[in-house]
Chain A
C-alpha cells in the first residue's frame, strides 16, 4: 500500500505512516469482514465450521488494525515485541485456564 513520506514531518526521525487513502481501504476491509461474519452467523449450512471461521476473520481484523492503524507495520520492532509478547501471555493464560478447567465450546 502507498506511503506518504512527506506527511510525517512532525517527527522526522520516525518512519512514514500510511496515507488517508490506505486508512480508508483498511476501514472498508474491516466493515466488509464484519458483514461477512454476520452473514456466516445466519447460514445454517456453515454451523459446524462457524466458530473457527469467526476466529479466522477476527484475527484478520485484529491484524489490520494493529498493523495499519496502530502502525506496527511501520514502527520499531520493539513495539511489536511488547504487544505480541502481551498477546502471547494472554493467550497462554486463556489456554491454560481452559485446560485446567477442561471446558471449551469450540
Chain B
C-alpha cells in the first residue's frame, strides 16, 4: 500500500479536545469567513445611499426573482441534510440522489445570479457605475464564488461515491462539506435581508 493510501485510510487518532481536527478546522474557517463577509456587508452599508448616479438599489433590485432564488438555496440545504442522513444510514444510492438534487439547486441559484448580473449590466449597472454597483457586485459576486466552490465540492462527493470511495468511514467528509454548504446558505439569508429587502425598503422610502 502506498503512503498516500495509508494516510487516507489511517484510523482516527485521539486529540486533546476529543474532537476531529478536520471538523475543528472547518469551523475555524467558517468563523473566519464570517469576518470576510462581515467586511463586505459593512462596506456595502457605509456606502449605501452615497451613489452620485443611478441606477439605485430600489430601481434595479428585483425582490420576487430574488425571493425565488433564496428559496432555491434554502431548499438545497434541506436536500443536503437529507443526503447526509442517507449516507449515515449507509443508503448510498439515496445519498447520491440527494447530492445531485443539491447540486442542481445550487446551479439553479447560480443561474439566477448570472441572469440578475446580466440584467443589471443591460440597465447600466456594472462595478464601475457607482458605489452601489461596486459594493453590491463585489459582495454578491464573492458569495456566488463560494456557491460555485460548493457545487464543485458536492460534485466531487457524488463522483467519489459513484466510484465506491465514499463509504461509512468517510461520513465526516460529507458532514464537513455540508457545513460549508449550509454556511453559504446562512450568508445568503443575511445578504437577502440586508441588501435586498432592507436596501429596497430604505431606498423606496427615500433612504
Q: Which residues of A contact B (CB under 8 A)?
A: 7-11, 17, 19-20, 23-24, 26-27, 30-31, 34, 37-38, 41, 47, 50-51, 54-55, 57-58, 61-62, 65-66, 68-71, 76, 78-79, 82-83, 85-87, 89-91, 93-94, 96-98, 100-101, 103-106
Contacts A50-B201, A105-B48; is A97 near B42 (CB within 8 Å)? yes
Given the complex, which residues of B lie within 8 Å of A96, measured CB to CB? 42
**A9 to B168 CA separation, bound complex (whole angstroms):** 9
**A7 to B30 CA separation, bound complex (whole angstroms):** 26
Q: Which of B28, B46, B82, B207 contacts A101 (CB 8 A)?
A: B46
Contacts A23-B81, A24-B78; is A54 near B193 (CB within 8 Å)? yes
Q: Which of A10, A27, A62 contacts B75 (CB 8 A)?
A: A27
Given the complex, which residues of A lie within 8 Å of B23, measured CB to CB? 79
Given the complex, which residues of A lie within 8 Å of B197, measured CB to CB? 37, 41, 50, 54
Measured CB to CB, the nearest residue on chain A to B45 is A98
Measured CB to CB, the nearest residue on chain A to B201 is A50
Closest-CB distance, B82 to chain A (whole angstroms): 6
B142 on the interface (CB 8 Å rule)?
no
**A47 to B198 CA separation, bound complex (whole angstroms):** 11
State which size class the interface on B falls in. 35 or more
B74-A41 in contact (CB<8A): no
B19-A78 in contact (CB<8A): yes
Given the complex, which residues of B lie within 8 Å of A70, measured CB to CB? 178-179, 182-183, 186
Given the complex, which residues of B lie within 8 Å of A71, measured CB to CB? 175
B27-A79 in contact (CB<8A): yes
Given the complex, which residues of A lie within 8 Å of B183, measured CB to CB? 70
B133 on the interface (CB 8 Å rule)?
no
Closest-CB distance, B98 to chain A (whole angstroms): 10
Given the complex, which residues of A lie within 8 Å of B45, measured CB to CB? 94, 97-98, 103-105
Q: Which residues of B contact A (CB under 8 A)?
A: 17-19, 23-24, 27-28, 30-35, 37-39, 41-43, 45-50, 63-64, 67, 70-71, 74-75, 77-78, 80-82, 84-85, 87-90, 168-169, 171-172, 175, 178-179, 182-183, 185-186, 189-190, 192-194, 197-202, 205, 207
Given the complex, which residues of B lie within 8 Å of A20, measured CB to CB? 81-82, 85
Closest-CB distance, B37 to chain A (whole angstroms): 7
**A9 to B89 CA separation, bound complex (whole angstroms):** 8
Contacts A70-B179, A93-B35; is A34 near B74 (CB within 8 Å)? yes
